[in-house]
Amino acid sequence: MQKILVWDWPVRLGHWLMVGGFILAWLTSESESLRLVHVLSGGTVVAVALFRLPWGFIGSRYARFVDFVRGPGSVVDYLRSLIRLDPDHHTGHNPAGGWAIVLLLGLGIATGLVGWAMYNELGGDWLEELHEGLAATMLTVVFIHVAGVISGSLLHGENLVRAMITGHKQGSPEKAIPSARPLAAIFLLVWVGAASWWLAS
Amino acid sequence: MRAIPAVALLLASLACHAETPQQIRQIYVAEATSQQAGFTPSAKRGDAFFRQRFAINDKMPACISCHTDSPLNAGEHAVTGKSIKPLAVAANPNRLSDPAKVEKWFGRNCKEVVGRACTPAEKADFVTFLSEVR
């Protein structure tokens, strides 16, 4: 076991753009003077999530949905191993983390698109209720995700937050991804800028 | 005693049918009266409040920054430029029909434009102004 590259650039950059966008959107949710900041940061979350869907098929090994979307049985097994304080080690995402990704992507897209419809007055007050309900659900999943990351990090003795920054985790050398895919990350930045700008206009 | 207006708001919003502007005014009047005996709502004070320049917020120093100088007109958001439907019941019958919505917008806009929570008396005056202005 040694430090190997596991997360490519689009995964890491997309993750932290989504974190920043979600926090900013949450903090500016009730302000009219910061309404544009809210719409741009929410647009960032939607844009990252929309990029992540195709990247889940064409991205590097551990970015692909087939690598981490597992059935409920695997999730229960992993959660049991967490409760035993001896979690199974996964080079990529663990099964619980995999479901957090799927839920957060779905909720990020749904919340953002409903927000966009509200902003353009495409529906009534029910859109506002739905937007707030979806955002609150997303915040709940975020808390569960963060709790899982912290407990997983402590129990594995592996800092998963740092891994999402550097891209490196413990693993055998043949399991490393060959490239961090920097060009796709540049495309992601351009896409997020253009898409969130368009959503906010 | 302070819980009574809150309970009234809750009961009003639990009821499935829309409320009338008069019922919403009554909720705030009851709350204001409990703090200040003999309180009577005034559309004139509500009008003055609507025009008052609080100057807490650079982009939105007053209600009229977004809602124009008449609540009968459609407004324009000072930051996004998006259109805002008229506040006056005479121009927009959907206004003042949902107590929870009225309370939500008082909560948000008072904090940001007035720089503090509005008092029940201010809310009663404002609601009276919006329901009576022609």
pLDDT of residue B16 exceeding 70, the answer is: no
CA distance A23 to A29: 10
Nearest to B79 among A30, A32, A125 (CB): A32
Give the pLDDT of residue A200.
86
Residue A92: how many CA atoms within 13 Å on its side-chain side? 19
pLDDT of res. B6:
62
Chain B hits for A28, Cβ within 8 Å: none
Instruction: Please answer yes or no on whether A125 and B101 come within 8 Å at the CB atom.
Output: yes
Reported as a pLDDT band with limits 50, 70 and 90, residue B5 is low
State the pLDDT at residue A125. Answer: 84
Q: Which of B83, B98, B112 sits opposite A32 (nearest CB)?
A: B112
Letter for the amino acid at B82? K
Which residues, 6 or more positions from A130, have their beta carbon under 8 angstroms from its beta carbon?
A114
Closest CA to B119 of B24, B20, B26, B31: B31
Beta carbon pairs, A and B, within 8 Å: 31
Mean pLDDT of B24-42: 96
Q: What is the pLDDT of residue A121?
A: 86
* Residue A5 near residue A61, CB atoms below 8 Å: no
| CA-angle at B102, arms to B98 and B108, nearest 5° | 145
Q: Which of A169, A162, A198 is nearest to A46 (CA)?
A: A198
Q: Is A201's Cβ below 8 Å from some Cβ in B?
A: no
Tokens of B93: 């019958």
Is the pLDDT higher at A63 or at B17? A63
Chain A residues in contact with B112 (beta carbon < 8 A): 31-33
Which pLDDT does position A82 carry in this prediction? 87
B 81-110: CB under 8 A from A = 82-83, 98, 101, 108-109
Q: How many other C-beta atoms lie within 10 A of the C-beta of residue A185?
A: 17
Option in B60, B80, B112 nearest A36 (CB): B80
What pLDDT is stored for residue B12 in this prediction?
Answer: 56
CA distance A193 to chain B (A): 18
Q: How far is CA B53 from the centre of its chain?
A: 16
Q: Min CA distance, A81 vs chain B (Å)? A: 45
Q: Are residues B98 and A30, on separate chains, in Cβ contact within 8 Å?
A: no
CB contact under 8 Å between A33 and B60, yes or no, is yes
Q: Which residues of chain A have pLDDT under 70?
A: none
| Per-residue pLDDT reduced to its tens digit, B52-98 | 999 999 999 999 999 999 999 999 999 999 999 999 999 999 999 99
pLDDT at B15 over 60: no
A171, β-bridge pairs: A2
Give dist(CA A166, CA B10) in Å, integer. 50
Share of chain B above pLDDT 90, in %: 85
Sign of CA dihedral A5, A6, A8, A9: negative
Instruction: Give the pLDDT of residue B13.
Output: 56
Confidence of residue B2 (pLDDT cuts 50, 70, 90): low
Q: CB count, 10 Å around CB of B7?
A: 9
Is residue B98 within 8 Å of B13, Cβ to Cβ? yes
What would the pLDDT profile of A137-173 be if each residue is shown by its tens digit? 999 999 999 999 999 899 988 999 999 999 999 999 9
Residues B42, B125: contact at Cβ < 8 Å?
Answer: yes
The closest alpha carbon to B133, from B69, B83, B38, B77, belongs to B69
The mean pLDDT value for B109-124 works out to 97
Q: What is the pLDDT of residue A89?
A: 87
The reported pLDDT for the residue numbered B86 is 97
Nearest residue on chain B to A39, alpha-carbon basis = B80
B59-90 core/surface letters (b: 16 or more CB in 10 A; e: else): ebebbbbbbbeebeeebebbbbeeebebbbbe
**CA dihedral defined by A110, A116, A122, A127, rounded to 10 degrees?**
50
Q: Which H or E run contains A156?
A: helix A125-156
Q: pTM to 2 decimals?
A: 0.87
Question: What structural domains does chain A harbor?
Answer: 2-195 (1.20.950.20)
pLDDT beyond 80 at B14: no
- Looking at residue A131, its pLDDT comes to 97
